[in-house]
């Protein structure tokens, strides 16, 4: 008995389409008339409703709007939440208060899809509250540096590291961002192979070297690399500068002008889905995807709700965390991908600053409200920091502040009480497989595992952010539309010649404006 009959709880039209199955799996030769009737729209499944999956649905809907491409899209999400690693919580679980980001918090103006989406969906952007704080760099035993203002324009930094280090690092990052911005022009490459994308951008140097080797070999002083840039890689990716590749290290220090959506970044992803008109199945875990000989529906997606046939599947979650069983010809192409297991502790406190004593400061000396860390002390035989970062995120009310802690190990309540002078008023602890471990590499999983089966998160070990997942999904949707529907998000590139001279400052965003 085919498991297809189990789908009774799903849409009745898809049930109707499933019933005439007579074709055994992997039948070697298949006459067209043996295929199940291709009645109704071709269907595409998207697994995962985070940044990647929701934007994939949105990109497909753009082709539908523009060219009438006829596709029915089903989005599967195992939780009840839209947004994946982008999620908020209410302090004190009180939903009359402003929600706070627990996962992905910030994006920058160079992140053109998110920026544009926030505008188009009338969402309000607000400055990231940490921006104006005093920043301190803690090595586990001493505060090496404290400064306020932007990252780069501070005299203290120049005093400690010289003029050239920040300037050289800055220009390396600008160069990277300039290349990156071509991804939003009509000249953007389309890629099945991420190594080849890196080659075409001249980025092999960035992905094949650690941030430490790359920046020091380009003349950035060692102190600057191992203190300031490492502080950024540790807060953004939970990894040290001598283990993370230079591309992600460069992304970590490109955080100027960080913004977030008032009320939660996840709203962008919710709006992507609503605008896409896709069918969304929340609380529906995909367990298995099987393949059979069929022109119109070669892929069967098995979930709590049964089994449904699709023309194509977009996997939009880190494969090894999905628990999905794939044909081994597909799964064998995706190497094990460790992720950083991150502990996020969100709390409120009536203590206006951290315990000075812990940081060897005098009782009257306030601890900086944003503490970043370096591993450099530990490399020299001193104590390693007990946390990756601790930051005050503004006031909740007259007498309470919101604080966020990132750490590799769970934070004990006793430790919290000593850090906040016994005045913690609420705690919320969460754990994430937050980002891939990103050692230098020149190989990545394929973007297309097989004809009609695409893997958005192949991009994550290259760049891992909300925005880059929407860029990776745009590329995947273009490949899919091209392969299976002789179309693309922007149709034939008839208008390409008039758009050739797009500068990075231009408002033009590929996929939105075509």
Ligand X SMILES: Cc1cc2nc3c(=O)[nH]c(=O)nc-3n(C[C@H](O)[C@H](O)[C@H](O)COP(=O)(O)OP(=O)(O)OC[C@H]3O[C@@H](n4cnc5c(N)ncnc54)[C@H](O)[C@@H]3O)c2cc1C
Contact residues toward ligand X (CB under 6 A) are 47-53, 76-79, 84-86, 103-107, 285-286, 316-317, 322-324, 342, 344, 432, 434-435, 457, 464-467, 469
Minimum gap (Å) between residue 164 Cβ and ligand X: 29
Binding partner at 196 among ligand X, ligand NAG, none, C-beta below 5 to 8 Å by kind: ligand NAG
Minimum gap (Å) between residue 77 Cβ and ligand NAG: 12
Binding partner at 466 among ligand X, ligand NAG, none, C-beta below 5 to 8 Å by kind: ligand X
Could you tell me if 363 and 421 are in contact, meaning their C-beta atoms sit under 8 angstroms apart? Answer: no
Cα 449 to chain centroid distance, Å, stands at: 21
Q: Is 97 in the site for ligand NAG (CB under 6 A)?
A: yes
Spatial CA neighbour of 415 closest among 434, 393, 390 = 390
Q: Is 446 in the site for ligand NAG (CB under 6 A)?
A: yes
Binding partner at 422 among ligand NAG, ligand X, none, C-beta below 5 to 8 Å by kind: ligand NAG
Binding partner at 203 among ligand X, ligand NAG, none, C-beta below 5 to 8 Å by kind: none
Do you know the residue count of the chain?
514
Report how far apart, in Å, the C-alpha atoms of 187 and of each of 170, 197, 307 are. 26, 13, 40
Residues 85 and 266: their CA atoms lie apart, in Å, by: 9
Could you tell me if 215 and 207 are in contact, meaning their C-beta atoms sit under 8 angstroms apart? Answer: no
Backbone angles phi, psi at 356, to 5 degrees: -60, -35
| DSSP state, residue 366 | P
Cα 101 to chain centroid distance, Å, stands at: 14
Residue 80 or residue 380: which is nearer to ligand NAG going by CB?
A: 80
Minimum gap (Å) between residue 245 Cβ and ligand NAG: 16
| DSSP state, residue 128 | -
Burial class from Cβ neighbours inside 10 Å (0-12, 13-18, 19+) for residue 360 reads: exposed
Q: Is 181 in the site for ligand NAG (CB under 6 A)?
A: no
Interface with ligand NAG (CB under 6 A), residue from 133, 154, 195, 243: 195
Residues 8 and 427: their CA atoms lie apart, in Å, by: 43
Using Cβ positions, the residue closest to ligand X within the complex turns out to be 84
Tell me how many residues contact ligand NAG (CB under 6 A).
16
Residue 48 or residue 445: which is nearer to ligand X going by CB?
A: 48
Half-sphere exposure of 503 (CA within 13 A, CB side): 2
Residue 23 or residue 509: which is nearer to ligand X going by CB?
A: 509
Pull the structure tokens for residue 351: 């203590």
Q: Is 418 in the site for ligand NAG (CB under 6 A)?
A: no
406: β partners: 344, 389
Site string (257-296) toward ligand NAG, x via CB under 6 A: -------------xx--x----------------------
Binding partner at 166 among ligand NAG, ligand X, none, C-beta below 5 to 8 Å by kind: none
Minimum gap (Å) between residue 401 Cβ and ligand NAG: 12
Binding partner at 285 among ligand NAG, ligand X, none, C-beta below 5 to 8 Å by kind: ligand X
Q: Is 413 in the site for ligand NAG (CB under 6 A)?
A: no
Minimum gap (Å) between residue 78 Cβ and ligand X: 4
Helices (H) and strands (E) in the chain, counts: 17, 20
Pull the structure tokens for residue 184: 């939003």
Minimum gap (Å) between residue 76 Cβ and ligand X: 5
* Sign of the Cα pseudo-torsion (333, 291, 189, 123, in order): negative
Interacting residues with ligand NAG (CB under 6 A): 92, 94, 96-97, 121-122, 193, 195-196, 270-271, 274, 351, 421-422, 446
């Amino acid at each position: 008995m085919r498991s297809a009959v189990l789908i009774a709880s799903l849409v009745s039209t898809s049930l109707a389409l499933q019933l005439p199955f007579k074709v055994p799996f992997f039948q070697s030769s298949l006459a067209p008339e043996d295929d199940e009737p291709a009645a109704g729209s071709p269907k595409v499944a998207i697994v995962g409703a985070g940044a990647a999956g929701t934007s994939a649905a949105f990109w497909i809907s753009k082709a539908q709007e523009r060219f009438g491409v006829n596709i029915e899209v089903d989005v599967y999400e195992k939780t009840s939440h839209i947004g994946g690693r982008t999620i908020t919580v209410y302090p004190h679980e009180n939903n009359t208060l402003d929600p706070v980001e627990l996962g992905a918090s910030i994006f920058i103006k160079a992140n053109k899809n998110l920026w544009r989406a926030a505008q188009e969906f009338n969402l309000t952007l607000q400055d990231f509250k940490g921006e104006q704080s005093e920043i301190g760099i803690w090595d586990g035993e001493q505060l090496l540096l404290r400064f306020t203002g932007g990252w780069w324009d501070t005299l203290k930094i120049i005093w400690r590291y010289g003029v050239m280090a920040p300037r050289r690092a800055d220009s390396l990052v600008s160069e990277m961002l300039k290349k990156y911005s071509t991804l939003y022009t009509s000249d953007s490459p389309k890629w099945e192979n991420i190594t080849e994308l890196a080659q075409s951008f001249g980025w092999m140097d960035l992905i094949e070297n650690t941030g430490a080797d790359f920046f020091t070999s380009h003349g950035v002083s060692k102190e600057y690399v191992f203190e300031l840039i490492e502080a950024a890689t540790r807060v953004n990716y939970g990894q040290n500068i001598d283990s993370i590749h230079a591309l992600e290290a460069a992304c970590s220090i490109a955080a100027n002008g960080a913004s977030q959506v008032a009320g939660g970044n996840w709203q962008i992803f919710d709006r992507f889905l609503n605008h896409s008109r896709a069918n969304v199945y929340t609380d529906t875990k995909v367990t298995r995807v099987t393949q059979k000989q069929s022109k119109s529906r070669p892929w069967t997606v098995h979930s709590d709700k049964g089994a449904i046939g699709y023309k194509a599947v977009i996997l939009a979650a880190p494969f090894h965390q999905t628990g999905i069983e794939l044909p081994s010809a597909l799964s064998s192409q995706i190497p094990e991908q460790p992720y950083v297991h991150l502990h996020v502790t969100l709390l409120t406190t009536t203590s206006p600053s951290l315990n000075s004593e812990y940081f060897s400061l005098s009782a009257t000396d306030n601890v900086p409200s944003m503490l970043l860390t370096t591993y450099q002390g530990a490399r020299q035989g001193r104590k390693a920091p007990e946390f990756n970062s601790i930051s005050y995120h503004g006031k909740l009310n007259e007498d309470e502040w919101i604080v966020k802690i990132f750490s590799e190990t769970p934070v004990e309540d006793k430790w919290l009480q000593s850090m906040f002078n016994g005045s913690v008023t609420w705690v919320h602890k969460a754990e994430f497989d937050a980002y891939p471990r990103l050692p230098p590499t020149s190989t990545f999983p394929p973007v297309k595992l097989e004809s009609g089966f695409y893997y958005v998160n192949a991009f994550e070990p290259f760049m891992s952010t909300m925005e880059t997942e929407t860029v990776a999904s745009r590329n995947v949707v273009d490949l899919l539309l091209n392969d299976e529907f002789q179309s693309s998000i922007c149709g034939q590139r008839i208008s390409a010649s008039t758009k050739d001279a797009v500068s990075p400052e231009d408002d033009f965003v590929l996929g939105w404006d075509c």
